[in-house]
Structure 1
Amino acid sequence: MTAKPVHHGFRMPAEWTPHERTWMAWPSPNPTFTTEQELAEAREAWGAVARAVRRYEPVTLVVGPGDAENARAIAGAGDGHPLDLVERPLDDAWMRDIGPTFVTDDTGELAAVDWTFNGWGAQEWARWEHDSKIARHVSDVLGTRTFSTPLVNEGGAIHVDGEGTVLLTDTVQLGKGRNPDWTREQVEAEIHAHLGTTKAIWLPYGLAGDYGTYGTQGHVDIVAAFARPGVVMVHSQPDPSHPDHERCRTIAAILRAATDAAGRRLEVVEIPAPTVLEEDGEWVDYSYINHYLCNDGVVLCSFDDPRDEEAAEIFRGLFPERTVTLVDARTIFAGGGGIHCITQQQPKV
């Protein structure tokens, strides 16, 4: 039997533990950004997130060949922690999903989990020839041990509390485009073996808008996320005309009825969705849940919406020792994700 990370004492730390740095990837021409204007807008949006993260910790940016100068000019502008560049061929720019999931052990060793990546369930528009190798490239740059797995999974499809609990969704890990021949029990066993978790809480689906053209088919990091052990934030859609109204009520009820790996009944904190319901005739999945925790900071999605400040106040209450920085995420959401989706933490060891 091939040794798994858990056999070597590795586990995935919670996102709120100290980071060494944040990894991101720089947008390049692809089916997600089809025109020069869309690509330029994406780079400005990714750059704004990189600059916000650099207020709190260093950023390493994977850039495609020839893109280093553009990336440094935008993402490296202003003051803050250093920006480092690593040049590798890229297909897309969602580092949470194409990069490694980092795990650590009690001796201070860092290792990388390399999930099988197939373009979010082999979607027709997606390309992944290069992106499927990015986790290994990052691991090689760092010189860390790498644990590869045949399980098709992405970093945005998991969320851990650092104490043994992981959130998953039926339509991702058990989706027909990812792991059609795996049972729920097999998926759980493989997840636990690579993350060091012992309890999986399954949600039936993600947000309605996440099943559109560029959607992930239900990533958990847009609908629910741990704030600390025993406390989970969940997206809430107050408007009954939006399909997420009922979805979110169901998800919140599941989480309220659940216990974590330590046997605690979860405390659920509902985060109201922005007021906008549609964009270009499609339901939006704008969500404040898709935030990113940095060292001493929270980088929070904003949408030029009346609820932006309401969400910021909730996050200030949940993370009183951290500074909340709002970054406009509408361009990122138009491409299929949010701030959490384009960042990946490297834990400090």
Structure 2
Amino acid sequence: MAWKMPAETAPHERTWMAFPRTGLTLGDDAASAEEAYAAWTAVAHAVAEFEPVTMVVDPSERERAARMLGSGIEQLQAPLDEFWMRDVGPTFVLDDERPGVLGAVDWVFNGWGAPQWAEWEKSAGMARFVAEQSGSELVSSLLVNEGGAIHVDGEGTVLVTETVQLDPSRNPYADKARVEAELARTIGATKVIWVPRGLTRDYEDMGTRGHIDMVATLPAPGRILLHSQGNPEHPDYEVSRSLHAFLETQTDAAGKPFEIVQLPAPETLRDEDGFVDWSYVNHLVVNGGVIACGYGEERADALAAEILAEAYPGRRVVTVDARPILARGGGIHCITQQQPALPAPKGGVA
């Protein structure tokens, strides 16, 4: 077997999501809950303009999901607590040696390092459920990891963060060599780039401790889209500058230095909880499109859409208000997980 994770820009079969349910992430009042339901639903409908969407729904939310999502989005029932599908679901891979085989990597999920507030026991089984429903071959892993903690270019390069995979609350016995060996086995990584850290807010109690998909992504081999905070009053001003300097020293799996494209942050610096981690890097690439985070800032949202359109030629950028998602700890990329399309059979019919 030669498992390999395709780039997000490769053709998709569908996108997987999980519908919100009662719990800490949803919110503690009716208005907050409704805000979350509406945000997840808006993303699902935006993605469905480009490719099929399958939404996993906890039985307690079956009626609400059916009403809000409508008949155009497939709904499957399964128990869940957390509903960040990028992290609780599997990472899909293809087998270079068996072109018709889809794999699903089942990372260990422990609620982003087992913080006291997290509930993950039900969603820890989501990767196996999705693998079964998608007809995938399960690729078991003992690495505590999440889909939002890796970004690949489809040609062997993977971006990770030192504070995630080497987090003692996730992998207390891991070192870089062990992590790299497991990423080679499960997703075909031949070059692991260890980004030093993530955004400031991500290190608060309800953060992921540095997920890469808030910081940088690989729109194409040899290119990096990097979050750029331009206001010196924000702590991520220094973070983004230091990450830019670090990435300038790195090369991809082919040995080539990166072209770094800066993706400026919105102008908003703070919300009621402190400095925001609003990032346009946290977008989802779909068939023929890009689903981008919007923050209610006309100029900044438009500039981000322009940069994303240039980074992904031929794709239509659709911006969805992501503020209710960011307020709960993630963005559009965090609540979605792409399932790659199987490659077409080689040769024709005689």
How high is the TM-score relative to the length of structure 1?
Answer: 0.95
Picking from 306, 314, 326, the partner of 1:313 is 306
1:101 corresponds to 2:59: no
RMSD value, Cα:
1.0
Picking from 285, 292, 302, the partner of 2:294 is 302
Picking from 14, 21, 36, the partner of 1:42 is 36
Q: Structure 1: 5+ residue runs without aligned partners? A: 1-7
1:91 corresponds to 2:81: yes
> How far 1:137 sits from its partner (Å)?
0.5
The within-5 A match list for 1:132-147 is: 132-147=124-139
Picking from 202, 225, 229, the partner of 2:217 is 225
What is the rounded CA distance, in whole Å, between the counterparts of 2:209 and 2:45 in structure 1? 29
SS of 1:312's equivalent in the other structure is: helix
What is the rounded CA distance, in whole Å, between the counterparts of 1:213 and 1:125 in structure 2? 9
1:287 aligns to what? 279
1:171 aligns to what? 163
> How far 1:24 sits from its partner (Å)?
0.1
What is the rounded CA distance, in whole Å, between the counterparts of 2:290 and 2:70 in structure 1? 19
> How far 1:148 sits from its partner (Å)?
1.1
> How far 1:83 sits from its partner (Å)?
1.1
What is the rounded CA distance, in whole Å, between the counterparts of 1:276 and 1:213 in structure 2? 22
Decide whether the 8 Å contact of 2:80 with 2:122 is kept in 1. yes
1:4 aligns to what? none
SS of 1:110's equivalent in the other structure is: strand
More displaced stretch, 47-56 vs 276-285: 276-285
SS of 2:59's equivalent in the other structure is: coil
SS of 1:13's equivalent in the other structure is: coil
The within-5 A match list for 1:171-320 is: 171-305=163-297, 306-320=299-313
Q: Over residues 101-130 of structure 1, what are the superposed CA-to-partner deviations in whole Å (9 max), with x where a residue is unaligned?
A: 000123121010000000000011101110
Decide whether the 8 Å contact of 2:265 with 2:300 is kept in 1. yes
Picking from 43, 63, 66, the partner of 2:57 is 63
Decide whether the 8 Å contact of 1:11 with 1:194 is kept in 2. yes
> How far 1:240 sits from its partner (Å)?
0.6
1:74 aligns to what? 68
Picking from 122, 141, 145, the partner of 1:149 is 141
The one-letter code of the counterpart of 1:293 is V
The one-letter code of the counterpart of 1:50 is A
> How far 1:317 sits from its partner (Å)?
1.2
Identity %, equivalent residues: 51
What is the rounded CA distance, in whole Å, between the counterparts of 1:91 and 1:327 in structure 2? 24
> How far 1:69 sits from its partner (Å)?
2.5
What is the rounded CA distance, in whole Å, between the counterparts of 1:90 and 1:25 in structure 2? 8
What is the rounded CA distance, in whole Å, between the counterparts of 1:75 and 1:156 in structure 2? 25
Q: Structure 2: 5+ residue runs without aligned partners? A: 343-350
SS of 2:277's equivalent in the other structure is: coil
SS of 1:119's equivalent in the other structure is: coil
SS of 1:31's equivalent in the other structure is: coil
1:13 aligns to what? 6
The one-letter code of the counterpart of 1:258 is Q
Decide whether the 8 Å contact of 1:51 with 1:76 is kept in 2. no
Decide whether the 8 Å contact of 1:113 with 1:194 is kept in 2. yes
How high is the TM-score relative to the length of structure 2?
Answer: 0.95
> How far 1:76 sits from its partner (Å)?
3.1
1:348 aligns to what? 341
> How far 1:311 sits from its partner (Å)?
0.6
SS of 2:131's equivalent in the other structure is: helix
